[in-house]
Structure 1
Amino acid sequence: MEVSLMRLLLLSLLLLLLTKSTSSQNSNDLNITLTSFLKKLSTNPRIDQELGWTPASDPCRDRWKGIACNKDGKSVRALVLESLKLDGSIDGTLLSHLCNSGPLSILSLQDNALNRGLPSEISSCTRLTHVYLSNNRLSGSLPSSLPSLKSLKRLEISHNNFSGNIPSNMSRISGILTFLSNNNHFTGSIPDFSMNFMDEFDVSFNQFSGSVPANSEKFPVSRFVGNPGLCGKPLSVACPPPPSPPPLILSSPLPPSSPSSHKSKRTLMSKVVMVSGYVLLALVIILFLAYRCLKKKKNKNGPLYKGEIKEKKIAESSEKSGNPSRSEYSISSAAHSSEGVSTSLVMLKKDGCKDLKFEELLRAPAELLGKGRFGSLYKVVINGGAEYAVKRIKDWSLSGDEFKNKIMKMDQARHPNVLPITAFYCSKQEKLVVYDFQKNGSLYRLLHDNKESRPFTWKSRLNVAAGISAGLSFMHRSLANSGAATTAGHGNLKCSNILLSSTMDPLISEYGLTALPTHRHAGKTQPFSPTNDVYDLGVIFLELLTGKPSHGFNLAQWVHSVVREEWTVEVFDKSLLSDEEMVEETMMRLLQVALQCMNGDVNARPSMAEVAANVAGMME
């Protein structure tokens, strides 16, 4: 028994010594790799001693200057050697070995005097998210393997001597937020970066040519100057139209020495002229017919009674019938609709506003604000200055009675954060919904098209999030209780449908106008469910947090990729971040709620009431 116990103790001691030896060996390997890499970066033989990098110490445990380690204490997370007068070069083999020994995320060597180029071995550092090499003397082309850094978020290489083309597939790095390459000697075209999601971008003072990426106008012109060959907004130089295709060669000419050659040429020219004449005549006829068709279509689908021709038609119709003028929408037969729905405008909002007449609405000047899948939106100014927004609904199979009942039920469930319907009109041919016009515009405009540079603080954004979720929760509950469960939701929730009141409180507009039993959501036709609204609210929360639009880009996918890389703070709009710990904590909480709302499993999404309660708790 004693012998067995002794053997067990000896075995445990041996394993402990082996583990310690392995750990010591790993630490020693890291020590040697870092010291060798540093000595390649500098010609100063004492640079390691000046930084306190001694052979007997441990880089992580003894916290070497410029080194930040991971939680395991065995691998380097960040290597930051800035402003140290480093005048050597970046050794690719040692850099690769350093990256393979641990997940290196940050490499910053800016504000030194490093020369030569950026080694191709950097492609093995696949966990790199931040690379800062500005203000050095680096030269040569960027390695073609650079786009393999799929986790890269920020790349700063300005004020160097780099030349050649930037790898075109750099734009495939979906999460890149910063690209600064100004004051180099780059040539060729700028990669087609997704500018909507860039925080910082500067390619000034290089030798780039061609057009700038789409949506570059979000950055000032100073970020593109110094490249005489560039064109496109925000530059004042417009890009030339694409070249015309080469002329079609009808046949090969005969040799010029042949007498019949000249005759053949004349015959050929005659044929070409004749054919060209026929083609030109046919083109004129086609253009004339197309013009007539477009004119007819415009007259049929144009804004609410606008222009001299329409006014003339109204007068003629009125003279013949002896009745007040009607719009092309109402059509005289609608007055005696078989559905039994009145053609007059039904007023719902009675608090101090004068009755609005249908003919008055149609004769007023109308401005088209936008067209969508479900209809068009107009701004109408009535005599006396009253402004209204009129939604003209198209392709809706609801009968007049069903439409009226639906509007009435929504009107009974009023909430301070839901824009009330002022009036509505319904006939067999036409359905119009009228709202009071909101001069402060939409949430989309404030977030993504803020030309007036109006401030939009975190407190204001959280107030918007709380107002929207509270309004939706109330409407879901109220309409479900009233027996309108299949149409209890909004159905088309997005930033452009969130308007801002005179006090900058959110107002959900167009509520319920598209939440039909066969609502089309996320590109698929499926029965509408209030969980669709929960998903769409999650997208709005992400837009409030990131400051980035969701239209034309999978914002949720981008956020998931950044969070997965444990760089969650990179998600947030920079203008929101502050020194207050509570602000960042609340932003993290709203981000978690947003991701829960967008869960792929519909049954795992929270209810709208749960979302509203969560956000209300954040307000406190």
Structure 2
Amino acid sequence: MEATLTRLFSIVILPLLLINLVCSVNADSINLVLNSFLQKLSPNNPHIDRNLGWNASSDPCLAGWRGISCKKDDKSIRSIVLESLDLDGSIDANILSLMCNATSLSVLNLQNNSLVGNLPGNIGGCTKLTHIFLSNNRLSGSLPSTLPNLRNLKVLDVSNNNFSGNLPQNLSVISGLAAFLGENNRFTGTIPRFDLGYFSQFNVSFNQFSGPLPANSSKFPLSSFAGNPGLCGEPLQFSCPSPSEHKSKKKSRDKVIMILGYVLFGLALLLFLVYELVKTKKKKNKIGPFVRGEATEKKASENSRKLGSPPHSEYSISSPERSITGTSTSLFVLQRDGSKLLKFEELLRSPAELMAKGSYGSLYKVVIEGGTELAVKRIKDWSVYGEDFQKKMTKMDQARHPNVLSAAAFYCSKQEKLVVYEYQKNGSLFNLLHDNKAVRQFNWASRLHVAAGVSAGLAFMHQSLGGHGNLKSSNILFSPSMDPLISEYGLTALPTHSLDPKATDTAKPFSPAVDVYAFGVILLELLTGKPSRGFDLGQWVHAVLREEWTAEVFDRSLLATEDEGVEEAMVKLLQVALRCISSEPVARPSMAQVAAVLNGMTKEEGWPAVVQA
């Protein structure tokens, strides 16, 4: 009899009460809305509210309803977790709207049940949602077109259901979306134009998708795309077919454009040959990769080439005792024990591979006789020549630190400024974090060791060299023993850093606080595993922390492999990073202070002490 009355209440009386709540849901009535939501999810279990301790006369937050968690400040509901409860009903659209309007709901977890029906379009009004978990149910229909309205959404898991139809193509506009799991459904059409470089999880296997894969799909294994015969592009073996043939009118227009293109190309080629002829007459034998500049860099696709004859030098330095205006073609070798005198002619004769090209110049990998590998930085747009350049390079050489990459040699002429380093085969921090093709392990202890080493090197630079000015993860190289080495310093006038929101006035003198901000961004890359290139990583971290989801900040690969004690250390390092990226430069710590904190943390982890400035 009691079960019959309960069912009568949920079917007849409760909907009537909900009609009166549509326009005015408050804290006193949210318990009624939640009970109604639960009854719709489990219509065949009239006692489920009792089983979960959901007493309609009590406050969900104060009474500690099972599966309900609330915000600490205003006691509003933050998450609903009802997984693995044998729920076999459906998600009611109207009640969902009421619930979202009356709460601060950011997490909805209904996975591992037997829910049926579709996902209501009303969910697009739950704009505070950051995590939706609906996997392992029997939900069907298309995903609602309102999903892209959830601009705070980070995780969407609809795997192992019966969903069908096309995905909303503008799902890709959700900038913070970091995980989409849709495997084992019946989705069709093309995958939205996600940039998977920013995703930590992605799986669309065993659907009926077709067309090209999103950008940076090679970040994920082939199993993430399996079971979709119509998909194409990397990392799949099937390349995407060329577009279908155009209509006859369009064909004619394309032919005209093609002919005009050939004509223009011929004219351009003729002009180029004339230009090269004139230039050759003027410069005679001034060819070779380190002289031709942009012309050589445009041929960067050639992996290696022989370097041509050396240019005539206005300044050519072979040793500190030689005249600065001499005509020797030797490099100025910064001597070390057992070092070999490296001749400029030998450098020019050696095969060179263009590795990178940036705003401050180009970087070549050069293999000299005997197989020794060198990295040669070719500097551009820096009006420091002769003795001034020699003094600066000598000063940099005299100030050495184990975590700062030292130059091996340099060369300066009227046409060229070159700095030679030992080539570091282990690559950069950026490669290890974001382009780890060799799948090298990078655990918490190693990341902390890198952070401590870079902080010590940067603190030393602030004390001895003034600063860096262009610090980023791609400028942190690894020695053969995987110790971090700061590179790309001292080769231009110190600017203000583009990542620092407060460093917009480049007319002002360089401030060490600019480097501190850049170091804070590097710490965030180490903690999150996300790149900062083309992405405001600091803003993303602050947004996640505002939602009180600190654990979501950290790299999932770390959380999955490290013990619980590590998370406490990660939170401590996160606090250091947030201080470093403070919007007010005066509020940022000095690098000496940061280095002291990180050195203490490495000792706690059992690493040897890092050399301090």
Bucket of the pairwise TM-score, normalised by the shorter protein: 0.7 to 0.9
Helix, strand or coil: the match of 1:469? helix
- Displacement after TM superposition at 1:144 (Å): 1.8
Aligned to 2:427: 441
Aligned to 1:405: 391
After superposition, the Cα gap between the structure-2 partners of 1:338 and 1:413, relative to the gap in structure 1 and judged at 3 Å, is closer
One-letter code aligned to 2:110: L
One-letter code aligned to 1:33: V
Aligned to 2:15: none
The answer to whether the Cα contact below 8 Å between 1:113 and 1:135 also exists between their aligned partners in 2 is: yes
Aligned to 1:354: 340
Cα distance between partner residues in 2 of 1:378 and 1:590: 35
Question: Is 1:608 aligned with 2:609?
Answer: no
Aligned to 2:377: 391
Aligned to 2:12: none
Cα distance between partner residues in 1 of 2:355 and 2:275: 21
- Displacement after TM superposition at 1:524 (Å): 7.2
Cα distance between partner residues in 2 of 1:305 and 1:292: 19
- Displacement after TM superposition at 1:405 (Å): 1.1
After superposition, the Cα gap between the structure-2 partners of 1:302 and 1:131, relative to the gap in structure 1 and judged at 3 Å, is farther
Helix, strand or coil: the match of 1:209? strand
Cα distance between partner residues in 2 of 1:34 and 1:561: 28
One-letter code aligned to 1:474: F
Aligned to 1:15: none
Aligned match of 2:510 in 519, 525, 528? 528
1:490-509 map, 5 Å: 490-509=468-487
Cα distance between partner residues in 2 of 1:590 and 1:131: 29
Cα distance between partner residues in 1 of 2:258 and 2:374: 53
- Displacement after TM superposition at 1:598 (Å): 2.3
- Displacement after TM superposition at 1:52 (Å): 4.0
- Displacement after TM superposition at 1:394 (Å): 1.8
The answer to whether the Cα contact below 8 Å between 1:329 and 1:430 also exists between their aligned partners in 2 is: no
**Superposed CA offset, 1:187-238 (max 9, x none):** 2221222311211111122222222211111011221222233222122221
Aligned to 1:569: 551
Taking only the aligned residue pairs, the percentage that are identical comes to 59
Aligned to 2:266: 285
After superposition, the Cα gap between the structure-2 partners of 1:277 and 1:234, relative to the gap in structure 1 and judged at 3 Å, is closer
Aligned to 1:43: 43
- Displacement after TM superposition at 1:115 (Å): 1.1
Q: Which moved further from structure 2: 286-295 or 352-361?
A: 286-295
Aligned to 2:609: none
Cα distance between partner residues in 1 of 2:344 and 2:91: 76
Aligned match of 2:538 in 549, 556, 564? 556
1:80-95 map, 5 Å: 80-95=81-96
Cα distance between partner residues in 2 of 1:233 and 1:217: 6
Cα distance between partner residues in 2 of 1:466 and 1:302: 41
The answer to whether the Cα contact below 8 Å between 2:121 and 2:145 also exists between their aligned partners in 1 is: yes
Aligned to 1:269: none
Aligned to 1:594: 577
Helix, strand or coil: the match of 2:267? helix
One-letter code aligned to 2:448: L
Cα distance between partner residues in 1 of 2:482 and 2:410: 26
Aligned to 1:364: 350
- Displacement after TM superposition at 1:510 (Å): 2.4
Cα distance between partner residues in 1 of 2:599 and 2:197: 31
The answer to whether the Cα contact below 8 Å between 2:316 and 2:325 also exists between their aligned partners in 1 is: no
Cα distance between partner residues in 2 of 1:457 and 1:277: 54
- Displacement after TM superposition at 1:382 (Å): 2.1
- Displacement after TM superposition at 1:539 (Å): 1.6
Helix, strand or coil: the match of 1:361? helix
Helix, strand or coil: the match of 1:147? helix
Helix, strand or coil: the match of 1:97? helix
Q: TM-score, normalised by structure 1?
A: 0.80
Q: Which moved further from structure 2: 165-174 or 196-205?
A: 165-174
After superposition, the Cα gap between the structure-2 partners of 1:301 and 1:574, relative to the gap in structure 1 and judged at 3 Å, is farther
Helix, strand or coil: the match of 2:180? strand
Cα distance between partner residues in 1 of 2:271 and 2:246: 25
The answer to whether the Cα contact below 8 Å between 2:309 and 2:348 also exists between their aligned partners in 1 is: no
Q: TM-score, normalised by structure 2?
A: 0.81
1:271-350 map, 5 Å: 282=263, 285-286=266-267, 288-289=269-270, 292=273, 303=289, 328=309, 330-331=311-312, 340=325, 343=328, 344-350=330-336
One-letter code aligned to 2:311: S
Helix, strand or coil: the match of 2:583? coil
Aligned to 2:8: none
Cα distance between partner residues in 1 of 2:32 and 2:495: 66
One-letter code aligned to 1:240: P
Aligned to 2:6: none
The answer to whether the Cα contact below 8 Å between 1:374 and 1:393 also exists between their aligned partners in 2 is: yes
Cα distance between partner residues in 1 of 2:193 and 2:258: 43
Aligned to 1:510: 488
Query: What is the root-mean-square deviation of aligned Cα atoms in Å?
Result: 3.5
Cα distance between partner residues in 1 of 2:518 and 2:597: 17
After superposition, the Cα gap between the structure-2 partners of 1:448 and 1:524, relative to the gap in structure 1 and judged at 3 Å, is farther
- Displacement after TM superposition at 1:245 (Å): 6.3
Question: Is 1:543 aligned with 2:540?
Answer: no
The answer to whether the Cα contact below 8 Å between 1:205 and 1:226 also exists between their aligned partners in 2 is: yes
The answer to whether the Cα contact below 8 Å between 2:469 and 2:494 also exists between their aligned partners in 1 is: no
After superposition, the Cα gap between the structure-2 partners of 1:219 and 1:99, relative to the gap in structure 1 and judged at 3 Å, is same
Question: Is 1:109 aligned with 2:110?
Answer: yes
Cα distance between partner residues in 1 of 2:543 and 2:496: 30
One-letter code aligned to 1:34: L
Aligned match of 1:450 in 429, 436, 450? 436
**Superposed CA offset, 1:537-570 (max 9, x none):** 1221111111122223222222222122221211
Cα distance between partner residues in 1 of 2:246 and 2:88: 53
Aligned to 1:181: 182
Unpaired segments ≥5 residues, structure 1: 1-24, 252-271, 311-324, 480-487
One-letter code aligned to 1:592: Q
Cα distance between partner residues in 2 of 1:303 and 1:248: 47
- Displacement after TM superposition at 1:586 (Å): 2.1
- Displacement after TM superposition at 1:292 (Å): 4.4
After superposition, the Cα gap between the structure-2 partners of 1:519 and 1:30, relative to the gap in structure 1 and judged at 3 Å, is closer
Cα distance between partner residues in 2 of 1:283 and 1:416: 55
After superposition, the Cα gap between the structure-2 partners of 1:332 and 1:243, relative to the gap in structure 1 and judged at 3 Å, is farther
One-letter code aligned to 1:198: F
**Superposed CA offset, 1:91-146 (max 9, x none):** 12222222222212221111211111111222232222221111111112222222
After superposition, the Cα gap between the structure-2 partners of 1:60 and 1:518, relative to the gap in structure 1 and judged at 3 Å, is closer
Q: Which moved further from structure 2: 577-586 or 281-290?
A: 281-290
The answer to whether the Cα contact below 8 Å between 1:209 and 1:227 also exists between their aligned partners in 2 is: yes
Cα distance between partner residues in 1 of 2:259 and 2:196: 47
The answer to whether the Cα contact below 8 Å between 1:304 and 1:365 also exists between their aligned partners in 2 is: no
1:241-252 map, 5 Å: 241-242=242-243
Cα distance between partner residues in 2 of 1:213 and 1:280: 31
- Displacement after TM superposition at 1:64 (Å): 3.0
Unpaired segments ≥5 residues, structure 2: 1-24, 297-305, 604-613
Cα distance between partner residues in 2 of 1:472 and 1:80: 46
After superposition, the Cα gap between the structure-2 partners of 1:76 and 1:531, relative to the gap in structure 1 and judged at 3 Å, is closer
**Superposed CA offset, 1:492-538 (max 9, x none):** 21222111112111111222113x05667458744433332222212
Cα distance between partner residues in 2 of 1:149 and 1:414: 51
- Displacement after TM superposition at 1:32 (Å): 2.1
After superposition, the Cα gap between the structure-2 partners of 1:576 and 1:326, relative to the gap in structure 1 and judged at 3 Å, is closer
**Superposed CA offset, 1:315-357 (max 9, x none):** xxxxxxxxxx995553266569997266531111312222212
Aligned to 2:124: 123
Cα distance between partner residues in 2 of 1:243 and 1:56: 65
- Displacement after TM superposition at 1:280 (Å): 8.4
Cα distance between partner residues in 2 of 1:595 and 1:293: 57
One-letter code aligned to 2:30: L
Cα distance between partner residues in 2 of 1:326 and 1:120: 64
Helix, strand or coil: the match of 2:177? coil
The answer to whether the Cα contact below 8 Å between 2:314 and 2:413 also exists between their aligned partners in 1 is: no
The answer to whether the Cα contact below 8 Å between 1:473 and 1:608 also exists between their aligned partners in 2 is: yes
- Displacement after TM superposition at 1:287 (Å): 6.6
One-letter code aligned to 2:39: K
After superposition, the Cα gap between the structure-2 partners of 1:565 and 1:329, relative to the gap in structure 1 and judged at 3 Å, is farther
The answer to whether the Cα contact below 8 Å between 1:334 and 1:429 also exists between their aligned partners in 2 is: no
